[in-house]
Amino acid sequence: QVQLVESGGGLVQAGGSLRLSCAVSGSIISLADMGWYRQAPGKERELVAVITSAGHTNYRDSVKGRFTISRDIAKNTVYLQMNSLKPEDTSVYYCNAARIDTHVNYWGPGTQVTVSS
């Protein structure tokens, strides 16, 4: 059974940086589209960034130029580097794996990111 665990969240001042990590239990990230999502209270869950199985990246407009998604296949880990953080980035951030062979989605439990003004 595939397990995802996020880490790296916390409290940071506006303009600061955090790096989130997503540890995946198996060597599957090269066979999956890996995404970071976030959900704030009262809001719908939204896609933040994705890195496809082929290594292509995409970002929602509000984080372009500030966030970078990357992966280390050997370490079975996906990262989200977040710079120039804003209070509106405050949310629970979730890691997602969508296997391209089985079409099964896996989610981590989430990590809290709080940006103070």
pLDDT in tens, 56-113: 999 999 999 999 999 999 999 999 999 999 999 999 999 999 999 999 999 999 999 9
* pLDDT on residue 104: 93
* pLDDT on residue 36: 98
* Residue 44 banded pLDDT, cuts 50, 70, 90: very high
* pLDDT on residue 18: 98
Contact 32, 17 (CB under 8 A): no
1 burial level (CB within 10 Å; 0-12, 13-18, 19+): exposed
* pLDDT on residue 1: 78
Angle at 89 between CA 68 and CA 85, to 5 degrees: 60
